[in-house]
Amino acid sequence: MSTKLLFENIDEPGLHTLDVYRRRGGYAMAEQALAMARDSLVTALKDSGLRGRGGAGFPMGLKASFIPQGKMDKYLVCNADESEPGTFKDRELMQKNPHSLIEGMIIAAYAVGANKAFIFIRGEYVQQAEILEAAIAEAKQAGLLGPNVLGRGVDLDMWVHRGAGAYICGEETGLLDALEGRRGNPRLKPPFPANQGLYQGPTLINNVETLTAIPYILRIGAEAYAGLGVEKSSGTKLISVSGNVKRPGNYEIELGMTGRDIIYGLAGGIEDDREVLLWFPGGSSSPVLTKDDLDTVYAYDELAAAGTMLGSGAIIVVDDRHSVVDVAVKTASFYKHESCGKCTPCREGTSWTTKLLQRIQIGEATPMDLDVISSVCDQIMGNCLCVLGDAMAMPVASMVTKFRPQFEQHLERARSENEARLLAELQTTEPVLLGAGALASQH
Amino acid sequence: MSIRRDPPGPADRDLARRTALAEAAGATLDFLDDPASYELQVTRFDHGSRVPGFREATDPTKDPAQVPDPAQVDVPADLRAEIEDYMSRYPDHKSAAIPALAAAQRLHGWCSPVAVEQVACVMRLTPGYLTAVATFYDMLETTPVGRKTVYVCTNISCSLRGADAVLARLREELGHDPDVNLRGFECLGACDIAPMASIDGVYVGPIDDEDIAVLAGQIREGADPLPAKQLVRRRVADSAANTDEVSRQSADAGTLDPVDLSGGQA
């Protein structure tokens, strides 16, 4: 059985209240951290090997160490705009254990010297935002937030900022623009948010799961945390399994299990005991894997070696009742809808890929269009300010490459069906125009 | 108010065709012509809508709208207080744009020109700036819609489990109800309860065939939607996360098992 940290007894009644959280030893780590030197906290975070849990997997301690020292206004932003299709781990954490996130944010804010913190939560999470707001109010009441946190002379102001429904606001610079009250268009990097982020000040942005993990790392010690999982993918990770599995939901695992262990072990296997057609290992933005890849080790570097990525840890399983064409159309049209329109390759590329895929779906394309899709995807990748375009191009290109025979079969079948239908229509329709010859022949 | 119109284009023909189809299917669109069915009466443009169409010619001789004059705009006191509270939270008051527009939408039902003007007046921004923000985000409505919000997730995980059929069935039930804003939505972050819907922010799922009529009735009456299938009541799927003792306490507190949706142990 793998170690549980973040999910340990998460359904304890009343855990979202300060009383119960305190009874479980909550905020003790915040007190301990505030007594430590900032450098040693950042070093502890580096030693733990914690990698950003939002999708990019960037080492958290390293990111914190990029925040410049000095007496300028610095900000901490929690990215709770969990919009990656298939991902729903942060929702569970915020709803059931909001104080753990607040404690992690107190520690992170202290480590980088930020005195203003925002939780950017997606607007759809209405109930979760209310729970968080109540938890923050409780913490403020108890002197854990606000001026002079825990009597240590540190100020920390924290607010929940609700978004209004845009996938792009999960991208860190898009999120900053949305938080500044603008359209959520990503910015050119560099400068990175660590130097010039929110209101042009140094800003540390981390995912909910990353920040929630901090108190647990301090509790068990950075070395013990680094000892969990496998090398370079240390610690526990929350994974969200969804799609055609028997037990969809969130699971906490130590990285290093295989895909088969997760899908057939934790999630109980495929509904109606079907076969896996394909699976997304890290949200809908990750290149797909097939049933031959089920034994791939589920960890950052191992998945990268298999040509895909761990991303946000969202596994979507598609069984063999479904057509890969439909999955590709769904994926592409999502990114088409969510593209902010700032960069041309993404705006036009997602739109044209969707159109081409829809033509394949209804049988109005040729196999050559598959090559056009691959070429369009190639031209999107790496050519935009953010990775939204890449996030469409990678899974779609991988589907077209790995399932080319299925695409061609579908195309042939749909085309012949169309032809048969048109032919049948022609035969049942009365002749509309009778030519002079036809009239002549009747006499 | 009269404005010059472009000649009818493909979009107009499309609208005419869809209206004819909807009428042939027995839909009543009378509520569009009945101003009494709206709480607020706003001046209408020639084409019947309360918002200028994006194809409408603008008057190039007119100056763009400025920051509204506080003496000219009547802002409800509650709304003003709420927006000012949001503005006080940020180092730059512009940050409050999204929460302020959302607050105005709660009051007016949508980000109507009046709502945008009120927000602009309090925040000292131009209506154009706020309209640009409102048109970017999916949850800010820039056309009149029903007050009850129903989002049905139609993204990958949900559609693998029949979300498109759920949306179609709900459309049949609620599509003609002017009070309901029913939309297919991108991933709502609840793939564990697929297929699911969000009713005014309350997540319910998995929605079966037999649930749909019940759910539609509850939405119409404004009742608590499918209380036995609400996301907030579910325990975590990871069976090793809770000790048996905690699971039992949690079940006693009324939470549901994620596998069989019952209150008891799996």
Give, for all 266 residues of chain B, the pLDDT tens digit: 455 555 666 666 667 777 777 677 665 555 555 555 544 455 666 666 666 665 555 666 777 788 999 999 999 999 999 999 999 999 999 999 999 999 999 999 999 999 999 999 999 999 999 999 999 999 999 989 999 999 999 999 999 999 999 999 999 999 889 999 999 999 999 999 989 999 999 999 899 999 999 999 999 999 999 998 999 999 999 888 899 999 899 888 888 888 766 654 43
Q: What is the C-alpha separation between A299 and A239, in angstroms, rounded?
A: 11
Tell me which of A49-63, A395-409, B19-33 is least confident: B19-33
Chain A residue whose CA is closest to B244? A9
B265 part of contact set with chain A, CB < 8 Å: no
When pLDDT is averaged across residues A378-395 and rounded to a whole number, the result is 94
If DSSP codes are grouped into helix, strand and coil, which group holds residue A192? coil
Angle between helices A98-112 and A38-48 (to 10 degrees): 120
Dihedral of alpha carbons B185, B191, B193, B194, sign? positive
Q: Do B157 and A247 touch (CB under 8 A)?
A: no
- Which has the higher per-residue pLDDT, A331 or B263? A331
pLDDT of residue B50: 64
Q: What is the pLDDT of residues A221-254, one digit of tens each?
A: 999 999 998 888 889 999 999 999 999 999 999 9
pLDDT of residue A2: 73
CA B23 centroid distance within chain: 25
Give every strand in the sheet of A157-162, ordered side by side: A157-162, A116-121, A75-80, A203-207
pLDDT of residue B39: 47
When pLDDT is averaged across residues A158-171 and rounded to a whole number, the result is 94
Strands A203-207 and A236-243, sheet pairing:
unpaired
pLDDT of residue A70: 87
Neighbours of B29 (CB within 10 A): 11
Nearest to B95 among A83, A181, A248 (CB): A181
- Chain B residues with CB under 8 Å of A243 CB are 156-157, 160-161, 191, 194
Q: What is the pLDDT of residues A261-311, one digit of tens each?
A: 999 999 999 999 999 999 999 999 999 999 999 999 999 999 999 999 999
A100 part of contact set with chain B, CB < 8 Å: no
pLDDT of residue B53: 62
One-letter amino acid at B123 equals: M
A261 part of contact set with chain B, CB < 8 Å: no
If DSSP codes are grouped into helix, strand and coil, which group holds residue A258? strand
When pLDDT is averaged across residues A386-406 and rounded to a whole number, the result is 95
Tell me what percent of the residues of chain A surpass a pLDDT of 90: 88
Cβ contacts from A onto B, under 8 A? 195
When pLDDT is averaged across residues A131-138 and rounded to a whole number, the result is 96
- Judge residue A415's burial from the number of C-beta atoms within 10 Å of its C-beta, 0-12 exposed, 13-18 middle, 19 or more buried: middle
Chain A residue whose CA is closest to B260? A247
pLDDT of residue B264: 45
Restricting to A residues 1-60, those with a Cβ less than 8 Å away from any Cβ of B are 1-2, 4, 7-13
Q: What is the pLDDT of residues A410-434, one digit of tens each?
A: 999 999 999 999 899 888 876 655 5
Residue A3 has pLDDT above 90, yes or no: no
Strands B148-153 and B197-199, sheet pairing:
antiparallel
If DSSP codes are grouped into helix, strand and coil, which group holds residue A159? strand
Residue A435 has pLDDT above 70, yes or no: no
Q: Which of A156, A226, A188 is nearest to A343 (CA)?
A: A188
Q: What is the C-alpha separation between A221 and A213, in angstroms, rounded?
A: 12
How far is B46 from chain A, CA to nearest CA, in Å? 30
B249 part of contact set with chain A, CB < 8 Å: yes
Average pLDDT score, chain A: 92
Q: Are B143 and B50 in contact (CB under 8 A)?
A: no
The Cα angle at residue B252 between residues B248 and B257, in degrees rounded to 5: 65
Q: Do B156 and A86 touch (CB under 8 A)?
A: yes
Q: Do A11 and B156 touch (CB under 8 A)?
A: no
